[in-house]
Structure formats: C-alpha cells, structure tokens
Chain A
C-alpha cells in the first residue's frame, strides 16, 4: 500500500506538531524550573573562600623604604624613604614616575616608622627626633588621547601633630576625621599624649592652619602599642597583656580612663579597622580579639570586647586591615590568614614564600602586596564576599557601637566605613511572626467555615457563600495592604482592647444563641440544617461588633484608665506601634482565610457521600457525622490546606510591606511591626548594587523563601494525595 502525498503531508504535520509540543512543553517547564537554579547560581558565590594568586610580579625596591603601597589601579607603587622622599614607580618595570619630599625634615632627622591608615589615605609618620605627622596621600591620574593612564603624586602637606621632638616615639597612632586630625603617642619620656588638631582654613587665602590641643598622661605604664578610635579614644596595650582606654573629657581638659582589662598574653599590635569603630588586638600567643568603645544608655563609652577570633594563629607577626570592609590579613611565619572581624573567623589560609615581612592590600582590594626586606611582590586577590558567612547571617554579633551581641539587619549605612549588619534572623522571625498572627484567626475560621459549608449548606445558601469566598481570594494583596495600613491601623489603635475582646464576645454570643436555639421547637430548628444560620448570625455579629467597637475607646478608659496603646507599654512592657502585627494578622487573614477555606472545603467534599449516609443511617446527627466520620478522613486535606495557607502567608509581600513599619526586630510582640523576608526584598533589592554582597545576600534570602514554600507545598501535596488514596 502506498501513501498518498496528502497523507504524507498530514503525517509530516503531525510529526512537526509533536516535535513542537515536546520542545515547547519541555522548554516552558524547564524555564520555570530554571528560576530555582538561577537563584542558587546567584547566591552560591557567597560560599566561596577568598583566593590569592599563586605567584605574582616581584620587583626590587631601590633602597629599603619605610612604607610601601600602591594607588587605586595597582599600576604605580609608592615608597616613603628614610630621608622623607616619596617616590612613585611603575609596577610593571620599576621605572620612577614621580618623586617629592613633602615632609621637610630637619637636618639629620629621618623617618623612623610610618603607619598607613586602613583607608590608605593618611600616613602616620614618626621621625627620629620624636615628631609625629599625618601625611595625606593622594595620587593623580592623567589620561592621554588614547585613554592611556599615567600616574603622578598629588601635592600634599603634612600635618604636624607633635612638632617638638624629645626622642623617638615608643608607639603612635593618627586618625583623620572630617575636620579633625587626632594623634596619640608615647613620647620619649614615657608620657602618653593625645593631640587634637582642628583644621582651620583661612577664607581669604585658602591657607590651612592646624590648631592643636594636647592632653598628657605622665605615667600610663609600659605601652607596647596603641590605636586611635572614632572620636579620639585611645586604646593602648601593655607588655603584661592588659588593655586600657582613655578619652578626653569635655571640654578637653584631661584624659579620662574608660576601661582597663586584667593581664594576659602580651599585646603585639593594636590595629584599627576601617572607620576606626573598632580595633583588632593581636597577642603574642597568636590570639586576635576585636575591641570597641561601647556607649551605654547613660554615661560615657566604655571599652568592651566584641569578639575573639575563632582560633589562634601560631607564629602571628602582623595584622593588616583591608580598605573597604572588616577583612584583615594575619601574617604568620610562612603563612597568611584572611579573616573577617565581624564574623570573627578566618576564611582562608595561604602558604607564603620566605622573607615576607609585611602584607598590604591594594586600595581596591583586588591585589595583595607581599613586602620583603628589599622586594615587593604584587599578587591578584579575590576576596569574594567575605562579610557573608553562616555566622554573620545567623549568629548574634556585637556590632560596632552596640552594647551587646544581637541579631540585626541593617544592610547599608551612611558611609563607606559602615559595618553591614546582615543577620537574616530578624527577617525570618519577622516572616514567621506575620504568618503566626495571620494564621491564628484564619485557621479556625476557615476550617470550621469550610466544614459548615461542605456539610450543612444547601442550595441557594451555598451558591452565595462559595463564590463570595472565592472572590475574596482574588482580591489583590496591595488593596488589603492599603486597607490594613490606612484604615485598620488607625482604627484599631484606638480600640485595641475591643478588637481583642471581639472574638471572645462573639464566640460566647454564639454559644448562648446555640443553647437558645435548642429550646426552639424542632420545625424552626430545621432551618439551621438548611444552612441559613450564618446569615442570621451575620446580622447579630454586625450589630454586636459595631456596638463593641464603637464603645472601644471608652471601654479602654474605663477598664484600664488609659488608652490601650499607652497602657500596654507601661503595664505589660510591650511597646505599641500603630502599624503592628495585629493589623497585619487581620489584613493577611483576608488573604489566607479564603485560600484555606476553599481547599479545606474541597477536602471535606471529597469524603465519599456513602460514608455520611452510613453514619446518618446509624442515627448520628449531622454534627456527629461531620466530626466523627467526615473530619478524620478529610484531615490530611485540611492539613494540606493549612500548609498552603502558611506558604501564602510566608511569601506575602505587599500586605506586610504596607501594614507594618518594616523595622527589623526580633520580638514576637503583637503590638509592634516587623520586617519580613519578602518585604525586605521589595525594599532593598532595587537599590542593591548588582553582583555585590548585599545583592547576593538578598538572592540568598529569596532562595530561602523559595525553598521554604516549595518544601511546604510539596509536603502539603504529598499529604493530600496520600490522604485521598486512603479513602
């Protein structure tokens, strides 16, 4: 038998469509599944450890410099030499690009030591005669016609904080804040001096002048190292391992001690971190601690230990801070550790060649300089996302300026030096807080209502209730959020007590009505069975509810002696906010109740009618039938419905965004708001720089949401299917 051309055409069309459908169908399905994959892909780099290149370019130094560094592009290397000369050299070939002598040293005076600030913008320079200067470092970039870069030194003038030397300084530190330069040093005579320099600019000439004030502490003890923290606090370490902190009083008359610790392993180095909000203390036994000044609610700030690194580094020699984050490099014998101060742990360890005396990250943190006695090696550095670790995401952490460890989400602050607080705990707690208060009223309402609708409602009554609930399920959540925030919140804050009493009053009322109903003659009672009771109750509820809510403010005055919102903080210790979890619970209840209701109703209706008949034929009342025969087999379906409701509440965004204040707190207090994962995404993701830590952390939180709802939904589906199979 031969096939006709038309038949072949038809076969071809059939095959083509089959291919298209397969391709398209699988494609759509995969595209949707791709979402999960993509979220993982974006969040995964967070887990990567920092990486340092195996080897790098090594160039010899001309003469052993006091300090070395690179400019922004890591194309030019600067060196500060003993004679006070500042030299700029090409990183590629070592050729000299520029040189200057900004320090103007006295005769025979040399630079003894220089320390670079964490932001690498200021160099603290100590001379052989015991003078101390803050030297601003700045580099200029010129572009030629081909957009090739060339580098030169920007003109700079040192700010002398100690002008009269009396022998080399034992320890020193400099901190440049906006218009103030602080200096602290242990002078040749062993006294501790704190210098405050205010930069005054002459309006006419533009000339700068430094107006200095000095405080002196004659016998501070054997200080091994010191550092200046924010606001000019001096943190000093002693040979016996003790630490002490001082601050100038107001109005700058004397140094006040603000904390002293007992002895321990000798202090080797005190290294402030970017922003000088805290400092790392390195000890002789390799331990590294993080210390900061903490302002209690009253009184002056005191010294407090925020954290100790998770492990000691054997043979620790030196710490170097990174320029933009709270990462630091701990140099040990032939080993480098890369640690994070907020996370209080080391993220990577790298073997180093012999002879490395110092390390320094480039300003952009994309390179690391290994500095030997007479050479400098430049290696590529990939820090990744060191600030995002399991600890910073989930553990309590004492951040700069806070008095105790806490879970905090505050991802961005005013300045680059801001320490990001990215604990997901308050967001997760917030999400569950909203879910809890939403489900609490919704579950009984939805499940009992569904049972009544499935088992007691007939005909017309049913035709009213079911579509009404389905329509409620379709209300856009932005409308519910708006109603919650602009109608419910202000209305509820004046009658919180009445709102809380309302459910109890209505339940009591229903019980009373039920008992009264039972006294009616049977024929009128039968109407309940036909399902008209809800409509009767609606009228009763509306009347009683309106009366109670109207009386609300007066009731609070009468019972509590004050409005509830003032009474609760005083009597219960629960702060009260207008946009609180109760408002969200109610508004979200409108979204969750119809969902649970519809699904639970399906579950009840899926129980075969023969079971109900059997039960009724045995003389069970409809209520007994519902509870003993219909409910148990429908339970898996009801549980599934509740779980799907949970999933909905967890992911709900607009209601939470609008009806809460979006403050990230970790209290379940119903009278306060919260910040949920979903709302946090809506608020922060549009502003998060693409590809950076915050962006990826937000992707991680989206992944959490996705995974949680996916698991809950799968579990619900499994329970439902299994329950149905058992019927």
Chain B
C-alpha cells in the first residue's frame, strides 16, 4: 500500500477522529433499537439484499455507505417498509423494532412509519404552506389543537434549524423555499411525528455545498435525541456526522463498526479499497 492511496483513508480517519472528539461518547452497551437479522430482499425475482445482520443502537448516527446499487437505500427502506409501495417486492428475515418484527403481517405499517420517520433524496414538500407541511403528520395522528400545533411546528422548525429563516412566512407556500430549505423543512416535517428513528436517504445529494453543511450541522444537533440512519455517497459526510458506519457491497453488509475505526483501520479489503477510492 503506497502513501498516495493511504492518504485519503487517513484523512477520512482524521475527519472521523476530529468529529468524534467533538461529541460526547455514547454510553456503551446501549440496547439496540432495531435489530436486523438474516434479511433478504427481492424485487420480483431479483434479490437485492443478502442476509444482512445489523444492530442500530438508540441515539446513534449510523451511516450506510457503498457504491451505487449496493442495496443501502433498499436496506434503509426496509426499516419502515417503504418498499411496500413498490409492487412485487418481498422481504425475508427479521427487522426487529423493539423486539417486534416489522415484516410480520399483523404489524400496522402506519404506526411503524410514524415511529420510523424518513427523509428522501430529493426534497419533496407538499404543495401547501410551510406550516401545513410540518403540521401534516400531527394532524394525521389526531393532534389538532391549535396552540399545541403552533408550539410543535415552532419546535420542529427550530429543531431543523429553519425557524429563523421562515418564522415570518409560515403561511407561504413551501415550494417557494430554496432546495436546502425545502430539505430541512422535510426533516422538520419528519420530526413533527416525534419518531424514534429517522431515516435519511442521501438527504444532501441534491443540494449545494452550503446547504449540505447546514444539513450536516443539523444531523449533528439531532444526534443523541434521535436514532439516525443516513445513506450517503459522500464519505467525508459519513466521517463527519456518523458514530458508526456500515459498508454495503452488492447487496451484502461487508462490515460495520465505529466510524473512526472504519476509516482508519478497516478490517476488510473491499472496505479499504472503497474508501480509498479504488471503485465506487
């Protein structure tokens, strides 16, 4: 291994170490919120995930990395069963949320998705006002008292670091916001459901660097209060925001571990090759 190829890995490791130094360590031995066991996933007859086993711990930020088509987004979507919306898909194995298998037929996906929120790659605000976007989820779930909603919307917008920018135009159309603002609005909208787990599917890939930085700061803020699973293409981003990282390749989980360790000292050859930019 020469120095040229080593340097990106070590620089990523540096970022990860730096990031880790800035945040408090999580209490060790936290019980996992989600335990994934032997998960296979199929699009029709095509298998997209092969025997994935992974624990997601309460309060951590878990980054899912890997080349395009490696199954990391598919995996993310199995966690709140968004794949149900695609005809002909099928999951086998277990995704245990608080010891309940989310794939079992008597699970109410509606409740599941309330508890496991999700933000998509492209910002997708509803064509309604900013306020109505954030209040959408709470209203669905029967929280309609005006004062309560106002307070909740404010809290979530503040939580998504958007309040200062929009507090004077809550009734304006959400479509008038910039891309980065829209994405933070989508995060605020997800937060309003008070989820236990927040799934972020490449939340910054469609945004400019400035907006990306704001999203990353936001994830940093949310850490500890929510369990966050983020899919990202950008390894610096993974290094900056996550506690732990899981590396997917061709539908299999190659390895997972603390981010700092993954980027400085990967155990598997494919991981090292990927983070040093040999493929991907």
- Given contact pairs A617-B118, A619-B140, A726-B127, A522 touches B105 in the complex (Cβ within 8 A): yes
Within 8 A of A (CB), among B76-130: 80, 82, 85, 87-88, 105-108, 110-115, 117-120, 122, 124-128
Name the one of B115, B120, B127, B189 contacting A613, with C-beta atoms under 8 angstroms.
B120
Asked if A614 CB lies within 8 Å of chain B CBs, one says yes
Query: Nearest Cβ distance between residue B43 and chain A, in whole angstroms?
Result: 14
A74 shortest CB reach to chain B, Å: 74
Please indicate the chain A residues that have their CB under 8 angstroms from the CB of B118 in the complex: 617
- Proximity string of chain A (548-576) to chain B, C-beta cutoff 8 Å, 1 when within and 0 when not: 00000000000000000000000000000
Check if B32 is an interface residue, CB within 8 A of chain A. no
Complex-state Cα separation, A711 to B203, whole angstroms: 46
Closest to B111 in A: A619
Q: Quick one: CB contact mask for B188-204 with A, threshold 8 Å, 1 for yes?
A: 01100100000000000
B136 at the interface (CB under 8 A from A): yes
**B137 contacts the other chain (Cβ, under 8 Å)?**
yes
A613 touches B82 (CB 8 A): yes
Let me know if B80 and A617 touch, CB within 8 A.
yes
* Residue A334, interface by CB 8 Å: no
Contact of A619 with B127 in the complex, beta carbons under 8 Å: no
**Cβ < 8 Å to B, chain A residues 619-635:** 619-621, 624, 628-629, 632-633
Of the candidates B87, B126, B141, which one forms a contact with A458 in the assembled complex, judged by CB atoms under 8 Å apart?
Answer: B87
Chain A CB within 10 A, most for which of B88, B120, B136, B190: B136
**Shortest Cβ gap from A528 to chain B (Å):** 14
Does B186 reach chain A (CB closer than 8 Å)? yes
A725 CB to nearest chain B CB (Å): 11
Known: A459-B88, A526-B105. A618 touches B193 (CB 8 A): yes
Q: Are A618 and B108 in contact (CB under 8 A)?
A: no
- B88: chain A residues at CB < 8 Å are 459
Q: Taking A613-B85, A616-B113, A619-B113 as contacts, is the C-beta distance between A628 and B136 under 8 angstroms?
A: yes
- Name A462's closest neighbour in chain B (CB-CB): B87
- CB-based nearest A residue for B132: A628
Chain A contact surface mostly: helix
Determine if B136 and A615 form an interchain contact, defined as CB atoms under 8 angstroms apart: yes
Q: Does A608 contact B (CB under 8 A)?
A: yes
A616 to B84, CA, bound (A): 10
CB distance B106 to A619 under 8 Å? no
Nearest to B112 among chain A residues (CB) is A619
Interface membership of chain B positions 153-196, coded 1 if the CB is closer than 8 angstroms to chain A and 0 otherwise: 00000000000000000000001000000000010011001000
Taking a contact as CB atoms closer than 8 A, the residue among B87, B106, B115, B124 that contacts A610 in the complex is B124
Is A610 within 8 A of B120, CB to CB? yes
**When each residue 86-120 of chain A gets 1 if its CB lies under 8 Å from chain B and 0 otherwise, what string results?**
00000000000000000000000000000000000
A619 near B193 (CB under 8 angstroms)?
Answer: yes
Residues on A with beta carbons closer than 8 Å to the beta carbon of B115: 619
Q: Give chain A nearest CB distance to B109 CB in angstroms.
A: 8
What are the 3 closest A-B residue pairs judged by CB atoms, nearest first? A619-B114, A523-B105, A617-B118
26 A-B pairs with C-beta separation under 8 A: A521-B106, A522-B105, A522-B106, A523-B105, A611-B126, A611-B127, A612-B85, A613-B120, A613-B124, A614-B120, A615-B126, A616-B113, A617-B118, A617-B119, A617-B120, A618-B113, A618-B137, A618-B189, A618-B190, A618-B193, A619-B113, A619-B140, A620-B110, A620-B137, A629-B126, A633-B127
Binding site for A on B (CB under 8 A): 80, 82, 85, 87-88, 105-108, 110-115, 117-120, 122, 124-128, 136-137, 140-141, 175, 186, 189-190, 193
